[in-house]
Amino acid sequence: MNMNPYLDAAPEVADAISSGKPVVALESTIISHGMPYPQNVETALNVERIVRENGAVPATVAVIGGRLKAGLTQDQIEYLGKQGQKVAKASRRDLPVLVARGADGATTVATTMIIAAMAGIRVFATGGVGGVHRGAEVTMDISADLEELAQTGVMVVCAGAKSILDLGLTLEYLETKGVPVIGYGTDELPAFYTRKSGFGVDYRLDTPREVADAFRAKLQMGLKGGMLVTNPIPEEYSMDPDVINRAIDEAVSEANAQGIHGKKITPFLLARIAQITGGDSLASNIRLVYNNAALAAQIAGEL
Ligand code: PSU
Ligand code: MN
């Protein structure tokens, strides 16, 4: 099926791809760096179940022993969850050395897109994507996820961007790079923990079919790059904007005071926000990932 000598598609994933059945890619940085153990493993396994319940085959992506994996076993998911931050957070720039060393890596959105594309998977579900960080006009901290969305033909279903990022600059960057930003059933960019951000999306689409049609058109025109589908957290799990924004501001000032930067900043902020909110942000995070997994599977079914 694929010629890439570094890639191992799990048998079920390879079968689904070759017979044209819907497949949804899932990332593993969220497992090793985005949530604590054991909630990370529980969430990752539930996400796979939800993808199946919605008619698609899940392919959780990671680097294990230097191999690019599209589809993990339960043992491999448990391993990534237990190892946590000991597993390297693998973005695009990390792949060459990790692979050459035969090492493990938890794949970010960027790297998961790369491996999904190699395997022939077009739809990918996660919680949040990286973006332009607050203060990026000085730090130049812009996630490689955005560049990947500009280059690689994989749709990413997420819950919008959280205000640990500069949402306005993130949207400007995506516009410059020609990445369509779709609001699923909304005109407003969702802000991850909350349904609204005050920023508009490019287009509102209301059904999995409409999203699939737009992405198919993009692929068939040969327009390079992916598409960002932003799916608001269900109302019942969304957070009070004042509470979450205060927690985010506090976590961001701590990160600045401690000089945390680079690949460590997003995991640091997520963990601090969960502590400050007494676990409420983690509970919301888990729910929005489930919601995105279901939508991604439905879109994959239409594609
Ligand atoms: N946002 C979340 N949870 C996550 C991440 C982002 O709410 O786990 C992870 C994703 O894997 C994303 C990565 O690709 O962080 C972005 O990291 P950076 O900003 O260092 O590019
Ligand atoms: Mn960064």
Summarised one tens digit per residue, pLDDT across range 266-303 is 999 999 999 999 999 999 999 999 999 999 999 999 99
Q: Got the DSSP string for the chain?
A: ----TTEEE-HHHHHHHHTT--EEEE-SHHHHTSS-TTHHHHHHHHHHHHHHHTT-EEEEEEEETTEEEES--HHHHHHHHHHGGGSEEE-GGGHHHHHHHT--EEE-HHHHHHHHHHHT--EEE-S----BBTTHHHH--B-HHHHHHHHS--EEEE-B--TTB-HHHHHHHHHHTT--EEEES-SB--BTTBS--S-B-SEEE-SHHHHHHHHHHHHHTT--S-EEEE-PPPGGGPPPHHHHHHHHHHHHHHHHHTT--GGGHHHHHHHHHHHHTTTHHHHHHHHHHHHHHHHHHHHHHH-
Task: Give the nearest ligand 1 atom to 34 CA.
Answer: 8
pLDDT tens profile 207-257: 999 999 999 999 999 999 999 999 999 999 999 999 999 999 999 999 999
| Contact in structure between 245 and 163 (CB atoms under 8 Å) | yes
Instruction: Centre a 10 Å sphere on the Cβ of residue 26 and count the other Cβ atoms it contains.
Output: 28
Task: Give the nearest ligand 1 atom to 265 CA.
Answer: 20
Q: Is 162 a catalytic residue?
A: yes
Whole-structure pTM value: 0.98
* From 69, 89, 162, 218, active-site residue: 162
- Residue 3 clears pLDDT 70, i.e. is over it: no
How close is the Cα of 67 to the center of ligand 1, in Å? 21
How close is the Cα of 53 to the center of ligand 1, in Å? 26
**Mutation pick for ligand 1 pocket among 85, 94, 126 (CB with most ligand atoms within 8 Å):** 126
Q: Is 264 a catalytic residue?
A: no
Tell me which ligand sits closest to the C-alpha of residue 28: 1
How close is the Cα of 268 to the center of ligand 2, in Å? 12
Nearest to 21 by CA among 114, 91, 122, 110: 122
pLDDT band at 116 (very low <50, low <70, confident <90, very high): very high
- Residue 2 clears pLDDT 60, i.e. is over it: no
- Percent of the residues in the chain that have a pLDDT greater than 70, as a whole number: 99
How close is the Cα of 17 to the center of ligand 2, in Å? 32
Strand partners, 25: 59, 124
**Mutation pick for ligand 1 pocket among 39, 109, 115 (CB with most ligand atoms within 8 Å):** 109
- Residue 1 clears pLDDT 90, i.e. is over it: no
Distance between CA atoms of residues 81 and 102, nearest Å: 19
> Average pLDDT, stretch 36-57?
98
The response to whether residue 280 sits with its C-beta less than 6 Å from ligand 1 reads no
User: Taking the mean position of all CA atoms in its chain, how far away is CA 79?
Assistant: 20
Q: Name the packing angle between helices 167-176 and 144-151 (round to 10°).
A: 30
Distance between CA atoms of residues 27 and 61, nearest Å: 5
Give the residue whose CA is nearest to atom 7 of ligand 1.
128
pLDDT tens profile 160-193: 998 899 999 999 999 999 999 999 999 999 999 9
pLDDT band at 48 (very low <50, low <70, confident <90, very high): very high
The response to whether residue 105 sits with its C-beta less than 6 Å from ligand 1 reads no
Give the residue whose CA is nearest to atom 17 of ligand 1.
130
164: left (phi over 0), alpha (psi -120 to 50) or beta: alpha
* pLDDT score at 163: 85
Distance between CA atoms of residues 78 and 8, nearest Å: 19
